[in-house]
Structure 1
């Protein structure tokens, strides 16, 4: 009998597995851009632990193994800045990235008062761009040569009404 992937809040105990998975997942991105000094490949464990403590982070688990993760922080104006959506290469193309992103958006809107979601994606990162577009993200003006910033509004709470 197979196991199901579960999504839960990431804890400090997940930091090492997340960092190893991040290193694995960003190899392709580094190759795509010819830059192996990108932040996800050089991030120290202490910095990741600080991110997990200060923001909102989720993990996808298959049994005890972390096979996906996503993190974000919400600024004072209610903008949630998403970072490091990663899925183990063997788990890709099964909707796990979309599930993680949806769960994070829901959590940020409900528990962190996020009013908008924002993510920056490399111009050559076609899979990430398709995922974001499919979830309703639209490019903001003023993109750089290397990155595109995408944004979308958080949904209104279920009890909200329009006038």
Structure 2
């Protein structure tokens, strides 16, 4: 990669780029589960704009292009819920997802006083599960959505380091 990737807070002007990237990134998940009606593929722009206002949204940029994004918010009980961690397919497997995950954890712990972090992914999403475990997350529950999908919820304390050596 000739240019360096920078991570920053998303702005209202990033909304359309984030939504297009989300649509691109969730194609593989839709294919994996045989369901192209999943929420990330049907989310309207207005809903994403509301997330920009109400929660914390970070983007990774390569020049002016948004190449990755993640969202999160802290519940009143101190649980930071992290979601829609996306990385452009051409930028995957370079550690960008892990950098973005660490950045949102830091931001939510600092700004939102997060006591723990929680996220979820589908049971067949092996790369996601591996990355989350590498970053200290442990499975806390599963929920069968339908015959194709079981959601795996993972969690870690806010005082847990970003990486564990046994992963």
Aligned to 1:62: 62
Q: Secondary structure at the match of 1:77?
A: coil
TM alignment of 1:13-162, pairs within 5 A: 13-141=13-141, 143-145=142-144, 146-155=150-159
CA positional deviation for 1:2:
2.0
TM alignment of 1:3-18, pairs within 5 A: 3-18=3-18
CA positional deviation for 1:54:
0.4
- Partners in 2 of 1:140 and 1:129 — Cα distance? 13
- Cα deviation code 1:68-104 (max 9, x no counterpart): 0000111100101111000000000000000000000
Q: Secondary structure at the match of 1:144?
A: strand
Q: Which portions of structure 1, spanning 4 or more consecutive aligned residues, are displaced by more than 2 angstroms?
A: none
RMSD: 1.1
- Partners in 1 of 2:158 and 2:77 — Cα distance? 13
- Partners in 1 of 2:90 and 2:97 — Cα distance? 12
Unaligned 5+ segments in structure 2 are 145-149, 161-167
Unaligned 5+ segments in structure 1 are 157-163
Size of the aligned set, in residue pairs, is: 155
- Partners in 2 of 1:10 and 1:42 — Cα distance? 21
- Partners in 2 of 1:107 and 1:94 — Cα distance? 22
Q: Secondary structure at the match of 1:3?
A: coil
Q: Structure 1 length as normaliser, TM-score? A: 0.93
